[in-house]
Amino acid sequence: MSEPNTFPSVSQSDIVKSSRFWKEDGDFVLVAKNEAFKVHYDRISTPKIRGLPYDITLEPSFGQRVARLPSEVDPADFTIFLEHLYREIDETQLTESASLDRLCALIRVSSDGQLQDPDVYASARSDLEQSLKPDAIGSLEENYIGNAEDILSVVLHYDITSLRKRLLYTVSTTSHFDSGPSSHPSLSTSTTTLLASLQDNLISHFTPILFTVATASHMACTDVFAEKWMPLVIGPALETSGLCRPVETLRGIQEIEWEKEGVCEECCKEKREEWEGEIRVIWEKVDGWI
Ligand SMILES: [Zn+2]
């Protein structure tokens, strides 16, 4: 070995050693794309990983086995897979969003097209489903929105149907989609087209609802809505792209302290139930739009 960070005995000169997995007492080198990992054969060759090994060759300069992983295996995903096998990360200490990234990586790398580890695949997939509450209505929680496009691509690629609706809704209501060149590298063109059309449908359905002032059973309560609808509902909704996020905007309208504005309790209760009904109608309509 000449340079500490190069891997000269493999023909491509651009191959680098993993900074994370280069076990000095390892006896087996795995290459994912342009990154080499030195590991322990016993640890990695469990019978469940059916995708291993590939094209084992003996590298004379190392005196050890070297195998190239399928070309689909991403080095970053493989690093997470090794951390998982070696139990090197305390997964309970991770932030929720970091742990979702790891679950997506484990699903990809353990899938049939890659390393074929059915146990890791099944458990990562079930953990992802449980973390994201498939039965909830509306967008994912705020702290997951940054991961949503990646998760959506995993959900669509691996056909995790229980999460499909919530993820499509989340991505379509928190990002912009048009027919131009995709600025969403993890999503296919057909997916961005679907997201754009979902966005259009949500906006067309919700526009008349948002711009129609609520009416109540009592004239005095209706007057309050008439006076406050613009400053408390329409104004804030327009400032926060609320028109594109109907479920969340309706929840916000429910949470306004209408009692303090002068609406009687009976009308408040009635209207909040009505808005809850609107939320359910929208959520059912999404099925027809995806
Ligand atoms: Zn009233």
**What is the per-residue pLDDT across 88-144, written as a single tens digit (0 to 9) for each?**
777 777 777 778 999 999 999 999 989 888 989 999 999 999 999 899 999 999 888
pLDDT at 1 over 60: no
Distance CA 144, CA 1 (A): 43
User: DSSP letter at 188?
Assistant: -
User: Looking at per-residue confidence, does 69 or 58 come out higher?
Assistant: 69
* Gap from CA of 250 to ligand 1 centroid (Å): 20
Q: Which amino acid is at 252?
A: G
pTM: 0.85
What integer pLDDT is reported at residue 89 of this predicted model?
Answer: 75
* Gap from CA of 213 to ligand 1 centroid (Å): 15
- Where in the chain does DSSP place strands (E)? 16-22, 28-32, 35-39, 57-59, 64-68
Using 50, 70 and 90 to split pLDDT, how confident is the model at 54? low
Long-range pairs for 112-116: beta carbons < 8 A, 24 or more residues apart:
113/70, 113/72, 114/51, 114/69, 114/70, 114/72, 114/73, 115/49, 115/50, 115/51, 115/52, 115/69, 115/70, 115/73, 115/81, 116/49, 116/50, 116/51
Using 50, 70 and 90 to split pLDDT, how confident is the model at 52? low
Where b means 16+ CB within 10 Å and e means fewer, 166-194 reads bbbbbbbbbbebeeeeeebeebeeebbeb
Which is it for strands 35-39 and 64-68: parallel, antiparallel or unpaired? unpaired
* Gap from CA of 219 to ligand 1 centroid (Å): 8
**C-beta separation of 107 from 124 below 8 A:** yes
Label residue 63 exposed, middle or buried (CB < 10 Å: 0-12, 13-18, 19+): exposed
* Gap from CA of 231 to ligand 1 centroid (Å): 20
What integer pLDDT is reported at residue 187 of this predicted model?
Answer: 87
User: DSSP letter at 68?
Assistant: E
Q: CB neighbours of 290 closer than 8 A, spacing ≥ 6?
A: 164, 165, 168, 194, 198
What integer pLDDT is reported at residue 93 of this predicted model?
Answer: 72
Q: Pull the structure tokens for residue 59.
A: 């590298």
What integer pLDDT is reported at residue 236 of this predicted model?
Answer: 95
* Gap from CA of 249 to ligand 1 centroid (Å): 22
Q: Pull the structure tokens for residue 188.
A: 């296919």
Give the distance, in angstroms, between the CA of residue 52 and the centroid of all CA atoms in the same chain. 28
* Residue extents of the structural domains in the chain: 16-70, 79-174, 203-289
CB count within 10 Å of CB 260 equals 7
* Gap from CA of 90 to ligand 1 centroid (Å): 55
What confidence tens digit (pLDDT) does each residue in 7-42 have? 444 454 578 889 999 998 888 888 898 899 998 888
pLDDT at 198 over 70: yes
Long-range pairs for 109-112: beta carbons < 8 A, 24 or more residues apart:
109/73, 109/74, 109/77, 109/78, 109/80, 109/81, 110/81, 111/158
Distance CA 268, CA 54 (A): 66
* Gap from CA of 228 to ligand 1 centroid (Å): 15
* Gap from CA of 242 to ligand 1 centroid (Å): 26
What confidence tens digit (pLDDT) does each residue in 148-180 have? 999 999 999 999 999 999 999 999 998 877 655
What integer pLDDT is reported at residue 92 of this predicted model?
Answer: 74
Task: State the chain's mean pLDDT as an integer.
Answer: 87
Give the distance, in angstroms, between the CA of residue 54 and the centroid of all CA atoms in the same chain. 31
